[in-house]
Chains A and B, each alone.
Chain A
């Protein structure tokens, strides 16, 4: 898949994000702030029997942050909290090392477009860090 196709997928997530919605009292909330640009995100998770059954996020953030958040909610809904860190580290490798392989999660691969923009890595990671905060990881 080309960079252009990855970009189109990211834009689709940005225009119609999964998981963007209202956080309520059932959610445990984590927060992320990008002090560079003032972006703020709240990620709410519902965890039952160590499984994430729902993720919602509320954000004042850029397209990359919104797209990454959308991808995150798709990947991690119905996953065990113990699996969060391995996906997070996979994203880190994609961003920092442009490390994409046949084993990479297909939904994360479009974010490899961001690897060549170090100043935007924080944008892609913000919601993931907020979710880890919510899950106390």
Chain B
């Protein structure tokens, strides 16, 4: 396994120009990943060679741009084992989830219905549901976690007839690990409950097959899987797609229009009003190519084992509180911790002074912060370019911060 890990890292690292000239230990891939040269090239090539309106021009350059855009869609869809028609491009994972809340759930949900989310959701998978419940008389319920990070999927009420939707993160942006999405989706389907999976943190390293998973919706974004900023994706089950309304109306989404009537195009185009993000789509597809060049499961194995090494190193320090890993266990791409007597902001600043980039704050996860009774925590999160060589500089930064502040 160690050999596979070395292969993954050595194959990856040479593809990131950032690492040719930087001594920085970048440990913030849960926020955004560095981009391999192939992704950067795909974005710039798009502007150099295919710069024309997508689905709007009748001249050859526009045809090339349209074809490239749809090829990119097919590639991203195939990456999660969906058909191209089932995948819409959005600007982000956040927009994808909002699209489900406003374009689908809002017209179907009734007072008394319940939407369940987990205690470890990012605000992107919390606030849209909170707002929707306030507006519709539905109720937002929280699936709790225990002190070891296990999701309490046998919680009273979760599988009741009144449950309309379960919206669940696949991998917590603070606790890392993996939630039991397959078990939840299987059980939900048997109970007639809809499911949305937030795959923003998992899609970079955990293989996803929406057909096997059986979810109704799956949201993710490119920039956390080595792709460009500003483009996300939403998988929509074929039946749910028929029930869904576009979030935006405008150019490119209509078949015909008269003074009084709009006839929408077929999916996915009806959900993508406005000029499509061609360069983003090209970069997104290049990120898929980048990930698929590694053997299935190899990245998950590599970053998971590396996360475990970080946890073990931190656990040896007597001044650190480690947060649990979602789902229990130790293999994780995200490790969160607090250093005794050192405010997380001061810890992150000291690390930055030592060329170690870690995060501080509430990480847009106020539900979890409130449950854990922390105002803020430090978080390190790993990408394919990280290595066990990144551990010692972090430990030295922690020791330096403790010397200064504790």
Contact = CB atoms under 8 A, between A and B. Distances in A.
Contact of B345 (A14, A35, A40, A120): A120
A11 B404 CA distance: 9
Given A11-B404, A60-B375, A63-B405, A37 B345 contact: yes
A84 interface: no
A125 to B, nearest CB: 14
A62 B348 CA distance: 11
A62 B376 CA distance: 10
B405 A37 contact: no
Interface string B288-315: 0000000000000000000000000000
A114 to B, nearest CB: 10
Given A11-B404, A37-B362, A63 B375 contact: no
Contacts of B344: 37, 62
A39 B404 contact: no
A40 to B, nearest CB: 7
Given A11-B404, A38-B362, A38-B369, A123 B345 contact: yes
B374 interface: yes
B349 A37 contact: no
B346 interface: yes
Contacts of A39: 345, 375-376
Contacts of B361: 36-38
A37 B404 contact: no
Contacts of B343: 61-63
B360 interface: yes
Contact of B360 (A11, A37, A61): A37
Interface in B392-406: 404-405
A41 to B, nearest CB: 11
A39 B374 CA distance: 10
Contacts of B345: 37, 39, 62-64, 120, 123
B363 to A, nearest CB: 9
> Which of B345, B346, B349, B362 gathers the greatest number of chain A CB atoms within 10 Å?
B345
Nearest to A15: B405
Nearest to A61: B343
Contacts of B405: 14, 63
Given A38-B374, A38-B376, A40-B375, A62 B346 contact: yes
A63 B349 CA distance: 11
Interface string B366-394: 00010000111000000000000000000
Contacts of B376: 37-39
A137 interface: no
Contacts of B360: 37
Contacts of B369: 38
B346 A63 contact: yes
A102 interface: no
A117 B349 contact: yes
B96 to A, nearest CB: 23
Interface string A43-80: 00000000000000000111110000000000000000
A63 B350 CA distance: 12
Interface centre among A11, A36, A64, A123 (most CB of B within 10 A): A36
A87 B369 CA distance: 34
Contacts of A123: 345
Interface string A10-21: 010010000000
Interface in A79-135: 117, 120, 123
A120 B349 contact: yes
A40 B370 CA distance: 13
A39 B376 CA distance: 8
Contacts of B404: 11
Nearest to B375: A38
A13 B375 CA distance: 22
Nearest to A117: B349
B404 to A, nearest CB: 7
Interface string B47-72: 00000000000000000000000000
Contacts of B375: 37-40, 60
The 8 closest A-B pairs by CB, nearest first: A38-B375, A62-B345, A62-B343, A37-B361, A38-B362, A38-B376, A37-B376, A63-B346
Given A38-B369, A39-B345, A117-B349, 17 more contacts: A14-B405, A35-B362, A37-B344, A37-B345, A37-B360, A37-B375, A37-B376, A38-B361, A38-B362, A38-B375, A39-B375, A39-B376, A40-B375, A60-B375, A62-B343, A62-B345, A63-B346
Interface of A: 11, 14, 35-40, 60-64, 117, 120, 123
27 contacts: A11-B404, A14-B405, A35-B362, A36-B362, A37-B344, A37-B345, A37-B360, A37-B375, A37-B376, A38-B361, A38-B362, A38-B369, A38-B374, A38-B375, A38-B376, A39-B375, A39-B376, A40-B375, A60-B375, A61-B343, A62-B343, A63-B343, A63-B345, A63-B346, A63-B405, A64-B345, A120-B345
